């Protein structure tokens, strides 16, 4: 409980305090630079270092939206967020295109949102981050989904993906507030990058674990079958397993049969009083009740 | 001509008397007496669709390579059982509809047994002399649940295979369980015999047992006569309702088609058990968000929320799954089966009862039943703890712990609430009836008075006082006793085909 309190209350509070101090520092610095004080020297040195990087279009976007937590050099120097250097452009592209970043609220797991950048902007940011440090997960290559094997993809999906994402790709809750997100509406690029980079709770699968052609098959199965399932049997009930079917069977199935029984059977509870009621039952319902005539 | 033929047959087989008795059997009108018929008719549907499915199903675990019409499976290795289920779904005309009807009918079958059982329980219909029929009914439910589980396992798909794996482990938790499990499965899990064995039990042994018990259930019903709700001339010595022919037969046949219609509608519109999405069972593969069908769901829920206690008897640790997997259903079904005897002992009630109790008039039993139902419903909910956590965006751990509390708290809360509601209803003589307007009248000298308005059509059906018509005795000890009475009942008296028939109870 103490850890959760820390995460929920103290971290945002700490973020606020840091934001305030960073803000005052920045204002003080620019003021000092304008007046031509001694700190002008170090500023020029820094700009020389990043001169090449600044030229990239992603630099501005990163500084505006990401640097607050990840640091101006994406190295996690603020202590608020992890170091992004060396993770590769594929990782950055995945997190931005899924809308996980920028973070909306600090929670166990970032929520998927509509991405704030356009696809081109995402590539720009990813390339700028990648330019800081080599290596990591590359941006997904364009996959040739015409050649892959659906059947092999299905088999591999069952083995490596279904244990968390469920066999229908509906997604499910994992322990400690994490969840495996649904796979409906993901792009082939995201699947590729997620498998290679292992975001959040997901394990990372390298090319020796899942070969490029196997990954091609998985992507083919997810994009063509999981995202476009055929439901020849009718309404799919969310693909969350037999418990939904049980509720439908009990409430719609048995329920409808009970309504039928209620319709066919006699539904009035009768007792001694009914003898006198019987005399009234033939009356025209529109007539005033007998009491009113008295 | 037909008359002559009938006389010829009757002279040799003497069927008139028995048939006359049967034709004139009185069935109560109240709708709640038709709940058991839902079970009966869904069993009929299960038999009909099941026969269709056996024509195409191949009960074998022989590994084959699929080359059918469903592309994602082409080239995958699977058992013949799975392949034939896929083929009967996709390549056989009406196959998928039949499979879905069979599965939905199974869900409705067990569901209606439970609902029927609730009606009998809450109205005290199991009391002497009907204890035996209650016990038969409980056994029918156990067999139905077992057979449902076996049928769910037959396609040998990923989801059901996981369920069989769990049941294998549960069997192993019995004392000497590893012997029992390997004997039943013909070796270690999964082996090569299991589908074959399950198939024979599913299509032959258990259906035969169910049919036999069903015959006994209905035979005892005819022998012991129906119970009845109080009122409308019902006493401890008669049965009030409509005769088998023609009223009840027409009604019940119509009801058969209604139940079949509901099943067919569900099967045609709502998908159940899409095994082509699950794929064949492979022991090292597993999917998340997997539960058994609802009638096994409470057991799955109990397994999920069971704390990891390790109870060690001298020299032997009791496996944890023993408590939710063996002990819970064992206690459940034992207590359920012997409940009529337990209650009679507890209440010192040795009298015969033919008039049903209003549930509100026996708050103790009603509250107990409601609270037990709540217990199992919470367990059923626990079998979907992961799905609930996902939909509610709550941590799975929180949901799990919450269910551990709820499974105790909910029944404890339901009991007093139900008890109180029953007591309140006892003071409302018109409870459960249609409300009528109260008309406020003002007299000439300024006084006010309230008068209840007259009944509207449908508020109460006409009732008939019991008539001492001895010639209407239609069931007697001898076969010839009631022959003329029945015709009289059908044509004589009311045009609503309703009547009072005094029926001596031969066993009294």
Per-domain residue ranges of chain A: 56-138, 150-226
Please give the pLDDT value at position B240.
Answer: 80
Q: State which of B288, B308, B325 marks the end of a domain.
A: B288
List CB contacts (< 8 A) between B293 and chain A. 242, 245-246
Q: Are A152 and B75 a contacting pair at CB < 8 A?
A: yes
Question: Mean pLDDT over residues B387-402, rounded?
Answer: 92
Percent of all residues in chain B with a pLDDT value above 90, rounded to a whole number: 61
Q: Mean pLDDT over all residues of chain B?
A: 86
Residue A195 has phi, psi (to 5 degrees) of: -65, -40
Closest CA to A219 of A285, A130, A141, A277: A141
Residue A201 has phi, psi (to 5 degrees) of: -85, -5
A54-58, A212-216, B332-336, B464-468: which has the minimum mean pLDDT?
A: B464-468
Please give the pLDDT value at position B10.
Answer: 86
Query: Burial level of A121, CB count in 10 A (0-12/13-18/19+)?
Result: middle
pLDDT category of residue A8 using cuts at 50, 70 and 90 = low
- Selecting from B291, B393, B396 the residue whose C-beta is nearest the C-beta of A174 gives B396
Shortest Cα distance, chain A CAs vs residue B270, angstroms: 4
Cα–chain center distance at B398: 33
pLDDT category of residue B473 using cuts at 50, 70 and 90 = very low
Please give the pLDDT value at position A39.
Answer: 43
pLDDT in tens, A276-289: 444 344 434 444 34
Q: Which residue has the higher pLDDT, B431 or B480?
A: B431
CB–CB of B289/B386 below 8 Å? yes
| Residue B446: strand, helix, or coil | coil
pLDDT at B332 over 80: yes
B228 has which bridge partners?
B355
pLDDT at B480 over 50: no
- Selecting from B104, B258, B289 the residue whose C-beta is nearest the C-beta of A260 gives B258
Query: Has residue B112 been placed in a domain?
Result: yes
pLDDT category of residue B212 using cuts at 50, 70 and 90 = very high
Query: Has residue B382 been placed in a domain?
Result: no
Residue B340: other Cβ atoms inside 10 A: 24
Which of A166, A242, A277, A280 has the most B C-beta neighbours within 10 Å, making it the best mutation to test the interface with B?
A: A242
Domain containing B133 — which CATH number? 1.20.810.10
Query: Has residue B35 been placed in a domain?
Result: yes
pLDDT category of residue B310 using cuts at 50, 70 and 90 = confident
CB–CB of B233/B466 below 8 Å? yes
> Of the CATH numbers 3.40.50.720, 2.60.40.420, 1.10.1040.10, 1.10.760.10, which one belongs to the domain with range A150-226?
1.10.760.10
Please give the pLDDT value at position B63.
Answer: 95
pLDDT at A41 over 50: no
CB–CB of B140/B132 below 8 Å? no
How far apart CA B246 and CA B24 sit, in angstroms, is 9
A61-75, A125-139, B55-69, B422-436: which has the minimum mean pLDDT?
A: B422-436
Cα–chain center distance at A193: 15
How far apart CA B349 and CA B258 sit, in angstroms, is 39
Q: Which fold has domain A56-138?
A: Cytochrome Bc1 Complex; Chain D, domain 2 (1.10.760)
Query: Has residue B303 been placed in a domain?
Result: no
pLDDT at B83 over 60: yes
CB–CB of B472/B501 below 8 Å? yes
Please give the pLDDT value at position B314.
Answer: 86
Please give the pLDDT value at position B244.
Answer: 83
Six token digits for residue B250: 């027409």
Q: Rank A241-250, B220-229, B402-411 by mean pLDDT and report only the highest.
A: B402-411
Please give the pLDDT value at position B80.
Answer: 96
pLDDT in tens, B163-190: 999 999 999 999 888 999 999 998 888 8
State which residue of chain A sits closest to B278, comparing Cα positions: A167
pLDDT at A35 over 50: no
The CB-side HSE value for B27 (13 A sphere, CA atoms) comes to: 24
Strand stretches in B38-135, DSSP E: 63-65, 77-79
Indicate the helix (H) or strand (E) that contains B54.
helix B35-56
pLDDT at A1 over 50: no
Q: Are B272 and A245 a contacting pair at CB < 8 A?
A: yes
Q: Which residue has the higher pLDDT, A14 or A134?
A: A134
Predicted-assembly ipTM surpassing the 0.90 threshold: no
pLDDT at A265 over 80: yes
Please give the pLDDT value at position B481.
Answer: 36
Please give the pLDDT value at position B27.
Answer: 85
List CB contacts (< 8 A) between A243 and chain B. 291, 294, 297, 380, 383-384, 387
pLDDT at A45 over 60: no
pLDDT at A65 over 60: yes
Please give the pLDDT value at position B24.
Answer: 82
Q: In this complex, is the C-beta atom of A227 within 8 Å of any C-beta atom belonging to chain B?
A: no
List CB contacts (< 8 A) between A162 and chain B. 158, 285-288
The torsion region of residue B12 among left (phi > 0), alpha (psi -120 to 50) and beta comes to alpha
> Which residues, including other chains, have CB under 8 Å from residue A255's CB and lie 6 or more apart?
none
Residue B349 has phi, psi (to 5 degrees) of: -105, 105
Query: Burial level of B318, CB count in 10 A (0-12/13-18/19+)?
Result: middle
Question: Mean pLDDT over residues B8-21, rounded?
Answer: 82
Question: Mean pLDDT over residues A220-232, rounded?
Answer: 93
pLDDT at B507 over 50: no
Question: Mean pLDDT over residues A191-195, rounded?
Answer: 95
pLDDT in tens, B120-162: 999 999 998 999 999 999 999 999 999 999 999 999 999 999 9
pLDDT category of residue B477 using cuts at 50, 70 and 90 = very low
How far apart CA A163 and CA A169 sit, in angstroms, is 10
Query: Has residue B391 been placed in a domain?
Result: no
State which residue of chain B sits closest to A279, comparing Cα positions: B462
Indicate the helix (H) or strand (E) that contains A280.
helix A274-281
Please give the pLDDT value at position A20.
Answer: 60
pLDDT category of residue B398 using cuts at 50, 70 and 90 = very high
pLDDT at B247 over 90: no
- Selecting from B72, B393, B460 the residue whose C-beta is nearest the C-beta of A150 gives B72
> Which residues, including other chains, have CB under 8 Å from residue B107's CB and lie 6 or more apart?
A245, A246, A249, A250, A253, A254, B148, B272, B293, B294, B295
pLDDT in tens, A98-135: 999 888 877 778 888 899 999 999 999 999 999 998 88
* Count of domains forming chain B: 2
How far apart CA B228 and CA B236 sit, in angstroms, is 9
CB–CB of B125/B339 below 8 Å? no
Please give the pLDDT value at position A280.
Answer: 41
The torsion region of residue B50 among left (phi > 0), alpha (psi -120 to 50) and beta comes to alpha
Q: State which of B288, B319, B339 marks the end of a domain.
A: B288
The domain containing residue B211 runs over which residues? 26-288
Q: State which of B288, B307, B331 marks the end of a domain.
A: B288
pLDDT at B465 over 80: no
> Which residues, including other chains, have CB under 8 Å from residue B197's CB and lie 6 or more apart?
B184, B185, B186
Query: Has residue B449 been placed in a domain?
Result: no
List CB contacts (< 8 A) between A225 and chain B. 72
A211-215, B82-86, B296-300, B432-436: which has the minimum mean pLDDT?
A: B432-436
């Amino acid at each position: 409980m103490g850890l959760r309190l820390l995460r929920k209350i103290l971290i945002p509070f700490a973020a606020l305090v840091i934001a305030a101090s960073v803000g005052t520092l920045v204002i003080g610095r620019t003021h000092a630079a304008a007046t031509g004080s001694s700190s002008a020297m170090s500023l020029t040195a820094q700009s020389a270092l990043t001169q090449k990087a600044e030229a990239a279009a992603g630099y501005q976007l990163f500084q505006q939206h990401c640097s607050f937590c990840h640091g101006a050099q994406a190295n996690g120097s603020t202590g608020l967020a992890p170091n992004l250097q060396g993770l590769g452009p594929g990782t950055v592209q995945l997190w931005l295109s899924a809308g996980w970043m920028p973070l909306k609220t600090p929670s166990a797991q970032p929520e998927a949102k509509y991405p704030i950048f356009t696809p081109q902007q995402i590539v720009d940011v990813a390339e700028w981050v990648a330019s800081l440090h080599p290596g990591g997960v590359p941006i997904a290559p364009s996959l040739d989904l015409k050649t892959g094997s659906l059947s092999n993809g299905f088999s591999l999906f069952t083995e490596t993906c279904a244990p968390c994402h469920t066999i229908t790709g509906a997604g499910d809750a994992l322990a400690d507030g994490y969840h495996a997100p649904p796979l409906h509406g993901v792009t082939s690029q995201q699947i590729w990058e997620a498998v290679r980079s292992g975001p959040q709770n997901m394990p990372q699968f390298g090319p020796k674990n899942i070969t490029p052609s196997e990954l091609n098959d998985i992507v083919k199965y997810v994009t063509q079958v999981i995202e476009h399932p055929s439901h020849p049997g009718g309404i799919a009930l969310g693909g969350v397993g037999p418990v939904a079917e049980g509720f439908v069977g009990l409430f719609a199935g048995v329920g409808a049969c009970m309504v039928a029984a209620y319709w066919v059977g006699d539904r009035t509870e009768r007792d001694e009083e009914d003898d006198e009621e019987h005399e009234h039952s033939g009356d025209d319902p529109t007539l005033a009740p007998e009491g009113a005539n008295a | 001509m037909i008359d002559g033929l009938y006389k010829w047959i009757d002279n040799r087989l003497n069927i008139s008397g028995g048939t006359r008795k049967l034709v004139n059997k009185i069935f109560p009108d109240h709708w709640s007496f038709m709940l058991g018929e839902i079970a009966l008719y869904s069993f009929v549907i299960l038999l009909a669709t099941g026969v269709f499915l056996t024509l195409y199903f191949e009960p074998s675990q022989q590994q084959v390579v699929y080359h059918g019409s469903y592309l994602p499976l082409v080239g995958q290795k699977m058992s013949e059982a799975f392949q034939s289920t896929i083929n009967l779904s996709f390549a056989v005309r009406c196959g998928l509809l039949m499979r879905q009807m069979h599965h939905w009918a199974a869900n409705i079958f067990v569901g209606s047994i439970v609902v029927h059982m609730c009606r009998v329980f809450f109205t005290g219909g199991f009391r002497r002399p009907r204890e035996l029929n209650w016990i038969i009914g409980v056994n029918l439910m156990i067999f139905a649940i077992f057979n449902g589980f076996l049928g769910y396992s037959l396609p040998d798909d990923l989801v059901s295979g996981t369920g069989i794996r769990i049941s294998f482990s549960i069997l192993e938790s019995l004392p000497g369980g590893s012997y029992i499990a390997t004997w039943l499965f013909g070796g270690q899990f999964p082996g090569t015999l299991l589908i074959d064995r399950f198939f024979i039990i599913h299509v032959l042994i258990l259906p035969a047992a169910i049919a036999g018990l069903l015959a006994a259930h209905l035979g005892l019903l005819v022998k012991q006569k129906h119970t009845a709700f109080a009122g409308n001339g019902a006493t401890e010595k008669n049965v009030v309702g409509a005769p088998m022919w023609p009223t009840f037969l027409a009604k019940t046949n119509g009801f058969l088609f209604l139940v079949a219609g509901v099943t067919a509608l569900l099967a045609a519109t709502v998908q159940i058990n899409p095994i082509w999405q699950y794929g064949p069972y492979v022991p090292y593969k597993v999917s998340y968000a997997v539960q058994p069908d609802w009638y096994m769901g409470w057991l799955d829920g109990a397994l999920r929320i069971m704390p990891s206690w390790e109870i060690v008897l001298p020299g032997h640790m009791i496996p944890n799954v023993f408590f939710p997997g063996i002990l819970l259903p064992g206690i459940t079904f034992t207590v359920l089966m012997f409940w009529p005897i337990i209650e009679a002992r507890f209440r010192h009630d040795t009298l015969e009862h033919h008039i049903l109790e209003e549930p509100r008039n026996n708050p103790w039993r009603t509250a107990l039943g409601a609270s037990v139902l709540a217990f199992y419903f919470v367990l059923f909910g626990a079998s979907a703890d992961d799905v609930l956590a996902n939909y509610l965006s709550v941590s799975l751990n929180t949901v799990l712990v919450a269910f551990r509390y709820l499974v105790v708290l909910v029944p404890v809360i339901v009991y007093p609430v139900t008890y109180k509601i029953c007591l309140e209803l006892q003071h409302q003589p018109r409870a459960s009836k249609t409300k009528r307007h109260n008309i406020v009248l003002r007299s000439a000298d300024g006084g006010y008075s309230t008068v209840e308005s007259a009944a509207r059509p449908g508020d109460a059906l006409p009732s008939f006082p019991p008539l001492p018509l001895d010639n209407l005795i239609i069931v007697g000890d001898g076969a010839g006793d009631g022959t003329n009475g029945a015709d009289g009942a059908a044509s004589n008296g009311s045009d609503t085909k309703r009547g009072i028939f005094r029926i001596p109870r031969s066993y009294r």
